[in-house]
Amino acid sequence: MAPAKKRNVKPEKSQKGVKTAKMDPNSCVERILESRKHANDVFDLLELLQSEDEKVLISAMSACTTLFCTLLERKELFTGKLHPEDEALIGGFTAEEKCQIFMRHRYNSCVEMLLEQLSHEEFNVKENALCCLIKCATAQGRHPLEDLDWSEHYSFPRELIQAVVENLVSKTTDNSLLISRFQQFLEMEDLRFYVMSSIRESVGQVMEKNKGALMPVYQNNVFTLMTNINMPSQESELTSFMVQQEAKHNDWKAAKLTEHKRVFERMWLGFLKYKLPSNMYKKILVILHDSILPHMSKPTLMIDFLTAAYDVGGAISLLALNGLFILIHQHNLEYPDFYQKLYNLLEPSVFHVKYRARFFHLANIFLSSSHLPVYLVAAFAKRLARLALTAPPTALLIVLPFIYNLIRRHPACRVLIHRPSAERELIKDPYLMDEEDPAMCHALDSSLWELKTLQNHYHPDVAKAAMLINTPLSGQEDDINEVLEITTHEMMERDLKHSQKKSVPLEFETATQLLKGGGNVLGQHFCLN
Amino acid sequence: MGKVQKKKSLADKVRKTKTSTEIKNNPFEVKINRKKFEVLGQKIKHDVGLPGVSRSKAIKKRKDTLLKEYKQKNKSNKFIDRRFGEYDTKMAPEDKILQRFAMERQRGHDKKDVYNLNEEEELTHYGQSLAEMEKFTDAGNSDDETEEKGLLSAELTASHFGGGGGLLRKKGPGDQEEEGGQRTKSRQELIEELIQKSKQEKRERQVKKEEAQELTEKLDQEWKSIQALMVKKTPKDADAEKTEEKPKVEEYDMMVRELGFEMKAQPSEKLKTPEELAREETEKLQKLEVHLTLISTLILSPTLPLIITVCVCVCVCVCACCGQADRLRRMMGDEGRDSSQHQVHMSADDLNDGFILDKHDKKTLAYEDGKWNIEDESEGGQDEDEAESGEDQETDAEEEEDDDEDGKEESAEEEGEGSIEKEDDDGHSDLDSEEEESENEEENEDDDVVSVPKPKKKSVTKEEQEAAKAELPYTFTAPENYNCLKNLLNCHTPDNQRLIVARMQKSNHPSLAVGNKLKLQNLLGFLLEYVGELATRNPPDLLTVDKLIPELYTLCQMFPEAARQALQSIMGDVAHSMEEVIEVNGHAPFPTLDMLIYLKVIALLFPTSDFRHPVTTPALLFIGQALTKCPVRSLQDLTSGLVLCCLAVEYVSLSKRFLPELINFLFGTLHLAVQDKTSLGYSVVPPFRRSGKHCDLLVVSDSESISSWSRKSLPLSACKHLELEEDRDRDQHRLTCLSTCLDLVKRCCLLYKELTSFTHIFQPIRVLLSKHLSSQTLPDSLQELQSEIVEMISSAPAAHRVLVFDKKKPIPLKLLTPKIVEVLDYGKKRGSSREEREQERLKHKYKKEFKGALREIRKDSRFLAREKLSEVMNRDAERKRKVRELFGSLATQEGEWKALKRRKRK
């Protein structure tokens, strides 16, 4: 049942607030609980909930929570379908029932006000409101206000949680802090279950209303909330519940992992259905493979999303690779022209993006198959070598062993670095860089002259690595994973720490002026002042 | 005697061998160790033993050693005979006596000789007796020639043929007859004879020389008498006469004599070690300092009061002093050159400044406190009252003008009125080249000429200023910390800063004192820090950096390790912070000017062409990273980037190593100049983007500026601070950047021409230049450059030889060489590894030795016991014998007594 739409705090009363503001909310609670005589003090308490003062507000919140939780426990709140207050007064209820109806209405307005406070500026207030709401929800779950039997949700206060979620994923303010606070409650299985379904509903409604246009703040909130959901991996892990159902617990949806997964999946799909900002695209793709796909009941449903992402190009494609890999590898996804697309992903920027390590890790896995055609492998090797001409040394330390590994796995590719049949011939490089189809690019007819060039690279490690093509490659594959994460600074440190023993060679030519020396390039283009 | 000895020993040997063979052949002596198996080719040492011989040997040895020891036991004194050769049987007694005598003599001689002045020992010089030389001091060498010409004396021949020693002379005819009798003569006589002969010879020589001298003197006198007549004759005639007079001297003789007179490898002035040089240098500097202070005190005291009243008097004084100071300065060599130039034209009015460097006279040290011109103020106050009003503004303006001289001008301000007008010139003179300085000084001279009569403060103060700057102390202590150095250098001109550092370095040379090495190493670090600070100033003071470079270089040469550490830590820090920024943002701002300067300094100090170098390799990496990770967002960034590119080109100019980042950056820079970015036909590499916010940075906005553009070098400070308000200026800057970029591209083309992938590397640049830039209007020079580059790229050979592995040596067949097992003493030992085997062997050896030693000890004790026993037995036997004797005598006594008794009875 939705909270009452109409607030029943009377305006006259609230004007008296100045006086009542001073009174202690806790004593007020005690009085109300003592006897029904003081029931009207509830209004004062609710009034405090709108106070400007932070402290008062917080204490009022906790007071309200204790009050209503106690009332719930005492079953002094009306259960069943609630009539509007006016009707209730007229209708044929007993005095007892009337009182309960009255209190029930107060409870509803209290919850409403707490929900409102979730968008307060102060984080303290927000946090307190959230905690109070959860407490209320817990109490309500234990002492349901509805009749049980006909609900598939059993005694879980679904409406309340949905309201909380809707307030959390605000459209205007970034609630990431509050959401991360909320994460601790998400440990509870049933709560998580209902939060997920509420998210799905909320996203559906909101995005539909907005006709699928971008809503960065809202989507960001939703994304934060969704990423904070930690799914259990086994049924047996479903232990902590907010509301324990006495009867038929095992039939409850929230107690089944498959149901959890289904809801989780529906939530994500619902979210991904709509247009996303590009940076969120990247964020989702980054976490997709290890925190989303494994928890879906049917991961193959992600195919559409991933193929779309793979076709976007650039960094997003690189990131989509990971998810695709899992689908191909574990879920038998057939992806036509996968290698051609991978081949076309190789651009100079591959060596400069943040996800370089991940990309090469995956590419290494994709190309480790020994059933690949030789032309394809050669095309990859050649293209990588060509691109290496623009790569920074850290990338070169990855690419060179990568190429060597390709050649080792596919001995037929050895012609790229060793073609004794045409030893004396002078040939132009037949490789076509612009050709999109690896089958047509003539990579097999070419040689890796680029590596020859890199033997003159300025960094000794790179030059040494490139020197390896002068001799037959060793049988052992190089382990790329060691160098994947290397940074320039680490390379620098190696030199800075290195060679402490040997004496330092010094410049032979005497330095006389700042700009002289070294071919005088600087001096020709720049002056001192 | 040696022969006799030999014979003896030989005989001994013969006898001994004989006996041993005898024994060996005696079947009763020989014990044969029977072998179980016969192994072919095996040599066994111990197949035959001589137990008797070895036993007797052992016993004999024990007798010699153990027994002696035993007998010496418990005896504290020992008699050692140290007489020479007493126990040497091989020496003849005669020899022994002779040797002993000689030794005796020597012993006495050694001790006495030290103080014995009357000893008959001749002092020599060049092998000639000093006494003789004293006697014939006048005998000129020149006359010797004439005297000895044509003489083929026995001596001469002797010296020519067969090296003149006593041997030949002995065989002369006189000696030969004696030879017969000589044999009979004893040694003693022989020696005496020898001495006599030498003395005689000596006397003869003396006499000869005296005669010769007399003759020459006579000749001289005669010559003098003739000389008057000779004057009329032409010198040529005289020469002719001379040649006639002398029968021609044999060339050979001449040569020999010349050789004789040639100086025999005289010790030249010693080559000085660097340490010595350094010490000398500091000594010189210290001496100069002392001199200067002395002079100044001497002269200042009388002149100061006089300045006001008597100018002329001062003039004289000063001239004299200037001369001296100047000379002293010139002594310093090149370091002093600058300062001496300041002093060359010093006029009368300079009086004060030349000698301001007086430590006691505190007011004079202008660069320290700048309050030394009290006199001038009193004097100049009246004259310059009017000027005072305008001065303040003037000084302000000046300060803005030349920042380097901040410190100096501050001091000048303190000095007050007198100096202000000249500061302008001052600043220039110090900043500019020496020529200008001299010009300035010439001006001063002119001034002097004109103004000598009237007292003028202008030139006085001006000179003071200059002098104050020029006059630096000669010695500096090394700074303790960075701030010390900074304070010391701060208020000096770049030239002087260099001078200070140079002097500091000289006066703290590591060879002079123990801690100096550390001090100079610190100084190096501080200097580097200072360079960085100079570069971070606003505006950067790069002139000073420029001046300090040679000092840095020399210091670096002295302490490569310290330089390496300092630069590595600087670079490590900067790179680390850059890495952090990159991790957070994905990109970083361009390195600041000081880092650029450091990179340049690194290139100057260390070889950039090394394959791997602890400093330059990280530096190159840093440059590469900066070029890939720093996005260009303004013209200023672009300038920094171009500086980095220049540095990169310099770094690889020698080694021609490939730097992809450099090409990428230059390509990206060119891309910035492309106007139409719609259909590119190439892809740019990060940090540049295909199109976006800062992608039109180099597009010239106004085509007019293209025609007015002229190439100028960019200031380095543009990396730090670039103010271009007008579009026009900005265009100029753009074009300059573009030209720099194109030039660098050209250089890269030249550098990388040899690379196999040259065309592929430069392909995008070629497309860009030929398709996009060429269609844009650019200055002619740039167009030209551009077409040159395109030409160069397209003319490179595209065809290459296919890659093939290096030919490797064929692996030789496996040869079946026998496995050689090392057989060490005590046989081969088991054990897998070498160490184990060795250990086994040692264990075995130890065991054997231990057993052997035990056996020996047992034998020793047995031997000793036997000896003791025999001793006891001997003693007992002796006692028995004595007792028996006694008994015998007693018996005889009794017998006699009984016989006597019997006789009596009878």
Compute the residue count for chain B.
Answer: 906
According to DSSP, the residues that pair with B32 across neighbouring strands are B48
Q: Do B614 and A507 touch (CB under 8 A)?
A: no
Q: Hey, is the C-beta of A314 within 8 angstroms of any chain B C-beta?
A: no
- CA distances to A403, B79, B190, B386 from A377, in Å: 9, 99, 106, 91
Average pLDDT score over chain B: 71
Burial of B290 (0-12, 13-18, 19+ CB in 10 A): exposed
Nearest CB among A450, A504, A510 relative to B564 is that of A504
A466 vs A191, higher pLDDT:
A466
Q: How confident is the model at residue B848 (pLDDT cuts 50, 70, 90)?
A: very high
Q: Which of these, A64, A42, A192, A188, lies nearest to A117 by C-alpha position?
A: A64
State percent of chain B over pLDDT 90. Answer: 10
Dist. CA A9–CA A14, nearest whole Å: 7
**Is the per-residue pLDDT at B158 higher than 70?**
no
Check whether A216 has a pLDDT greater than 50: yes
Higher pLDDT, B274 or B92: B92
Could you tell me the pLDDT band of residue B205, with boundaries at 50, 70 and 90?
very high
Give the pLDDT of residue B135.
63
Contacts of B557 in chain A (CB under 8 A): 506
Give B846's pLDDT tier (boundaries 50, 70, 90). very high
pLDDT for the residue numbered B323: 41
A385-408 per-position pLDDT tens digit: 988 888 888 889 998 999 998 888
pLDDT-based confidence at B884, cuts 50/70/90? very high
Q: Is the pLDDT of residue B326 over 60?
A: no
Write down the pLDDT at residue B881: 95
For the ranges A194-203, A231-240, B456-465, B566-575, the lowest mean pLDDT is seen at B456-465
Measured between CB atoms, does A508 come within 8 Å of chain B? yes
pLDDT, residue A292, reads: 78
Residue B311 has pLDDT above 50, yes or no: no
Residue B416 falls in which region: left (phi positive, over 0), alpha (psi -120 to 50) or beta: left
Higher pLDDT, A347 or B450: A347
Task: Please tell me the predicted confidence (pLDDT) of residue B876.
Answer: 95
Digit-coded pLDDT (tens) for B633-682: 888 888 888 888 998 888 888 888 888 888 888 888 888 888 777 777 77
pLDDT at B375: 41
Closest chain B residue by Cα to residue A446: B802
Q: Distance, in angstroms, between B861 CA and closest chain A CA?
A: 60
Beta-sheet pairing, A526-527 with B714-715? parallel
pLDDT tens, position by position, A365-382:
888 888 888 888 999 999
pLDDT digits (tens, 9 = 90+) for B561-615: 888 888 888 888 888 898 888 888 878 888 888 888 888 888 888 888 888 888 8
Give B271-288 pLDDT, tens digit per residue. Answer: 666 667 767 777 777 776
Confidence grade of residue B874 (pLDDT, cut at 50, 70, 90): very high
Q: What are phi and psi of B336, to 5 degrees?
A: -80, -5
CA B665, distance to chain mean position in Å, is 44
Task: For residue B614, give every residue at least 6 positions away whose Cβ sits within 8 Å of its Cβ, in sequence order, or none.
Answer: A495, A496, A498, A499, A504, B564, B568
Q: How far apart are CA A330 and CA A300, in angstroms?
A: 10
Q: Which residue has the higher pLDDT, B301 or B693?
A: B693
Residue B30 pLDDT class (50, 70, 90 cuts): confident
pLDDT tens-digit profile of B458-495? Answer: 444 455 555 555 567 777 777 778 888 888 777 777 78
Is B652's CB within 8 Å of A458's CB?
yes
* pLDDT at A251 (0 to 100): 62
% of chain A with per-residue pLDDT over 70: 81
Q: Answer with the residue of higher pLDDT: A449 or A105.
A: A449
pLDDT surpasses 90 at B148: no
Q: Which range is least confidently modeled, B328-337, B552-561, B883-892?
A: B328-337
Q: What is the mean pLDDT of chain A?
A: 76
Rounded CA-CA distance A199/B694 in Å is: 41
Of B225 and B191, the one with more pLDDT:
B191
Instruction: Express each pLDDT in A439-470 by its tens digit.
Output: 888 888 888 888 888 888 988 888 888 888 88
What is the pLDDT at residue B332?
35
Q: Among A175-189, B189-203, B853-867, where is mean pLDDT lowest?
A: A175-189
Residues in CB range of B517: below 8 A, 6 or more apart: B510, B559
Nearest CA in chain A to B568: A496
Give chain B positions within 8 Å (CB) of A386. 760
Residue B382 has pLDDT above 50, yes or no: no
| Minimal C-alpha gap between B486 and chain A (Å) | 20
ipTM over 0.90: no
* pLDDT at A277 exceeding the cut of 90: no
What is the pLDDT, as a whole number, of residue B851?
96
From B540's Cα to the closest Cα of chain A, the distance in A is 8
Judging contacts by C-beta atoms under 8 Å, the chain B residues touching residue A390 are 660, 663-664, 685
CB pairs under 8 A between A and B: 252
Measured between CA atoms, how close is A429 to chain B, in angstroms? Answer: 7
Least confident of A336-340, A524-528, B209-213, B337-341: B337-341
Q: Which of B433, B403, B646, B526 is nearest to A529 (CA)?
A: B403
The stretch A28-36 carries a mean pLDDT of 70
- Of A325-339, B175-189, B204-218, B521-535, the range with the lowest mean pLDDT is B175-189
In A, residues 372-401, which contact B (CB 8 Å cutoff)?
A: 386, 389-393
